[in-house]
Amino acid sequence: MTTVLLVDDEKLVLRSLEKTLLRAGFEVLTAGDCLSGWETFRANADRIDIAILDLNMPGFDGLPQAEAGLGLLKKVADVRPNLPVIILTAYDEVGKAREAVEGGARAYFVKGREQGLVELIGQILNR
């Protein structure tokens, strides 16, 4: 079974995406901020197949931070450089997309189209 790490601070978004991914047959590990996302990743690093990280959420100090997800992306990539990562955001900003991909993300996805996310995961994992 494919294991997804899903990190997002918006509880409704997190729950909605988790349900969508579970229905699609994925095992889902969730976290609500960078620190808990990092802890969840470290505890499960060897079995996570793909990570989906929110762009804007509380950082490692627990305070809301623009682009905190890029910091988490960097830490994850240092441990698992080939792990596919998708950056989630509520805003479709080309500059942020480029920055996320330059930082090691495979893709950038705008929230609100859950089925599109399942399709994107399938494309990235070739399933």
Q: Show the 3-state SS of 104-124.
A: CCCEEEECCCHHHHHHHHHHH
Residue 8 lies in a domain: yes
Expressed as residue numbers, the domain containing 24 is 3-93+107-124
Look at residue 111 in the predicted model and tell me its pLDDT.
86
Residue 98 lies in a domain: no
- Nearest Cα to 3, choosing from 42, 36, 48? 48
- CATH number of the structural domain spanning residue 23: 3.40.50.2300
Residue 99 lies in a domain: no
Residue 21 lies in a domain: yes
Residue 113 lies in a domain: yes
Count of domains forming the chain: 1
Mean pLDDT of the chain, nearest integer: 92
Chain segment 47-66, per-residue pLDDT in tens: 999 999 999 999 999 999 98
- What global pTM score does this model have? 0.94
Residue 83 lies in a domain: yes
